Amino acid sequence: MKTKVAIIGSGNIGTDLMMKVMRLSDTLEMAALIGVDPDSDGLSRARRMGVATSAEGIAGLVALPAFKDIEIVFDATSAAAHKEHDRILRQHGKRVVDLTPAAIGPYTIPPVNGLANLKSSNVNMVTCGGQATIPIVAAISRVAKVHYAEIVASIASKSAGPGTRANIDEFTETTARAIEVVGGAARGKAIIVLNPAEPPVIMRDTVYCLCAPAETSAIESSIQAMVSEVQTYVPGYRLKQAVQFERIGDNDRLFIPDMDEAFAGLKVSVFLEVEGAAHYLPSYAGNLDIMTSAALRTAERIVQA
């Protein structure tokens, strides 16, 4: 018997996640999609597919007859709204997979620490940029100590809905912290760019790591292995070009303003591209695809734990 789940948030992320649950999961069953706009495309689509809906937010979810049988709730709203959602869902004993940057529960990146938090009542999926880049930072950390890691996530403006735009500050803060806690960097920094180009551009991510001297072949092999693991649930995840290395000597140290110190060692630059599976939005929205795919994998692991 499949585990019944609900999704709060009928925007881009919530709707894409609903499509993935219904098309891909052998262990999860869509029980409800919740929003606040009765005319949203997500709620309309859910109703056509026979999924219970409510436009009354969290109160509407709790009032649904199906609520008692729901075991896992995905929150695809905003960091601010999630705090109240988490409080109410805890009272009802529901497990929560948080797709906002609220970071109430432990950061969870499937190929890095995906098995560590399966008993938590709330797990946090960090951000789309975090899901794309933290695996790379972690892969480098397996080989060499990472003193500083900086990531730049560039996404198409059309793939960023109101929830994403409302969470820009939380995106940078949560991603930077997760780069440290999960990725293993001593200091992390995150930047997001909403690109208005037409036609819309595919998601691109750049990872810069300043680390201790190490064998470049070992680092490259670790990165390649990590990319292959992410591709098991995000097929459109790939290296855009070969990993780049630059050795920085003691006589030409690189000053890091965020750490107020000069660095000597190895600079690793990794350039990624994330193409979406187009379950809901076009393939350029890889930022949605990697986030919802990571949440789906995490929920399925929770069920199987």
Residue 192 host element (H or E)? strand 187-195
Nearest to 30 by CA among 62, 58, 71, 63: 71
284, 203 Cβ separation under 8 angstroms: yes
- Helices and strands (H and E) in the chain: how many: 10, 14
Pairing of strands 254-256, 203-211: unpaired
Q: Kindly name the residue from 5, 33, 46, 128 that is annotated as catalytic.
A: 128
Residues 219 and 225: their CA atoms lie apart, in Å, by 10
* Count of Cβ atoms closer than 10 Å to residue 69 Cβ: 12
Nearest to 298 by CA among 15, 60, 99, 103: 99
161, 13 Cβ separation under 8 angstroms: yes
Nearest to 57 by CA among 36, 32, 31: 36
With the CA atoms of 44, 14, 66 and 69 taken in that order, what torsion angle do they form, in degrees rounded to the nearest 10? 160
Residues 102 and 113: their CA atoms lie apart, in Å, by 18
Cα 73 to Cα 16, 88, 112, 253, 304: the distances in Å are 15, 11, 23, 49, 16
205, 129 Cβ separation under 8 angstroms: yes
128 a catalytic residue:
yes
Residues 252 and 273: their CA atoms lie apart, in Å, by 32
Q: Would you name the residues annotated as active-site residues?
A: 128
